[in-house]
A = this chain, B = another copy of it.
């Protein structure tokens, strides 16, 4: 029964939270409640689940001052950023309420009985159903938007799946307050107790993902922890989806023309992006490929100028701090690597670290130099020609994002550079920076392993697809069909006998009521 502590990253001081790690028996009881809540969440229907999400957003807004203040004590991310993160979290909950109203996510499909080239076919109707209770592992670096009330939780609840969130040790008090707020909101619309729950401690997390009634796992964090969870999942007798959003170096390429036209602008934007939030973003640009030209030299100079005065940011926890200190020390001492600039050295106690800009000989890029180094560190490599650039890009592990800065207009961007960037990422950014992930329909926050498992996003409306399974009814009488698959339903987009129909279009033909 280890007690749960909360540590202030600015001081390194830990305080008691009054919580203790959740025991296996307690996890079992929580999952039992979630099973019951699963039936209720689905039966309640889309409109009611939208109300639930709205109530949760409203509850978080009401507790804003407390949440931001406690989150700042636990993460040192600053009140401005945390206020913005809370706004984003509420916006996301409300966006999923809109997704529910829209209903297209159900992929509702009706094929009436009839003759086909393959002979007569029965009446078949398909839509997506909630999977069941879902385990969510929140991130250290987003105590709100990717944690207990974050995107995985919002999309799973929208789908109709109860959530059991494993609290991140970096922000247990924030998580508890958020969980209480969400639970109160759930109760206020009549949702059952098991709709949203939290567990504490690593072994509770492992027990959770091994539980037979857990139907999917959402995870945001390191490759190492992701692999540990996968290993636990692999011991299950069944196989359930694992949505890990793990890491990436997020390469950024600047063309010769871009460097000539906008060296200062690109340098300032790049420094701002990799230093933002202490470099603790999954979309932090970790490696930049700049042309080995005089304009590229100028860009490096401008970058150095942006980094040298940078203050020592306070990282989220001791583990992240020591990983950064050790990792950055290893990188700076590798053959072919030199320090181009350093920010201010940390003073006093706590988890502050020194920002760093490293230059690397492009021919001497190693696996370690092209992996994510979580924190305020950017590796700069200079390319002399397209072949050198594409061969360096080809050795990168997949990332969430890739960025290209082009000349405007850009006469000389070879197709193979764009292709290489596209192959390595889930989002390709032109003339911008990868930090900042808009919560919107067209967003994609995912990519090939280790950024994720390729197929899904963890940001934006389509994240809901992760927690749904298709189901087909064959020759079902009307009373046995969900409303969305009855012929007279006209409120959502559906594919009927092969043709898409938008809401409001007419279609009258029911299977016989029986």
Contact = CB atoms under 8 A, between A and B. Distances in A.
Contact of A430 (B107, B126, B418, B476): B476
Contacts of A456: 470
A121 B426 contact: no
Interface string A438-472: 11111110111110011111000010001011111
Given A241-B454, A448-B238, A500-B104, A470 B426 contact: yes
A88 interface: yes
Interface string A420-438: 0010001111111000001
Interface in A106-122: 107, 109-111, 116-118, 121-122
A270 to B, nearest CB: 16
B410 A475 contact: no
A480 B443 contact: no
A455 B467 CA distance: 8
A438 B441 CA distance: 33
B493 A121 contact: no
Contact of A454 (B244, B449, B469): B469
A25 interface: no
A2 interface: no
A131 interface: yes
Contacts of A88: 118
A431 B477 CA distance: 10
Contacts of A129: 422
A7 interface: no
A262 interface: no
Contacts of A418: 480
B470 A121 contact: no
Residue with the highest number of chain B CB atoms closer than 10 Å, among A244, A426, A456: A426
Nearest to A109: B442
A440 B241 contact: no
Contacts of A495: 104, 441-442
Contact of A426 (B87, B107, B240, B471): B471
A215 B454 contact: yes
A293 interface: no
A116 B440 CA distance: 9
Given A88-B118, A428-B473, A493-B500, A410 B441 contact: no
A323 interface: no
A106 to B, nearest CB: 12
**How many copies of this chain does the complex contain?**
2
B502 A432 contact: no
Given A408-B514, A410-B514, A441-B111, A428 B474 contact: yes
B446 A470 contact: yes
Contact of A438 (B122, B239, B462): B122
Residue with the highest number of chain B CB atoms closer than 10 Å, among A98, A427, A457: A427
Contact of A449 (B121, B240, B470): B240
Contacts of A370: none
A428 to B, nearest CB: 5
A118 B131 contact: no
B470 A429 contact: no
Nearest to A432: B475
A118 B444 contact: no
B431 A475 contact: yes
A414 interface: no
Contact of A470 (B122, B125, B215, B462): B462
A87 B118 contact: yes
A409 interface: yes
Contacts of A442: 109-111, 124-126, 472, 495
Residue with the highest number of chain B CB atoms closer than 10 Å, among A91, A428, A453, A472: A472
Given A429-B474, A432-B474, 8 more contacts: A126-B462, A131-B454, A240-B453, A240-B454, A406-B477, A426-B469, A454-B469, A502-B502
Interface of A: 39, 87-88, 91, 98, 104, 107, 109-111, 116-118, 121-122, 124-126, 129, 131, 215-216, 230, 234, 238-242, 244, 406, 408-410, 418-419, 422, 426-432, 438-444, 446-450, 453-457, 462, 466, 468-477, 480, 493, 495, 498, 500, 502, 514
27 contacts: A87-B117, A87-B118, A91-B117, A91-B118, A111-B440, A111-B441, A111-B442, A118-B439, A230-B239, A406-B514, A409-B514, A410-B514, A427-B472, A427-B473, A427-B474, A428-B472, A428-B473, A428-B480, A429-B475, A430-B477, A431-B475, A432-B474, A448-B469, A454-B469, A457-B470, A493-B500, A500-B502
In the complex, the 7 A-B pairs of residues with the closest C-beta atoms, listed nearest first: A444-B472, A238-B449, A124-B442, A126-B442, A109-B442, A111-B442, A427-B472
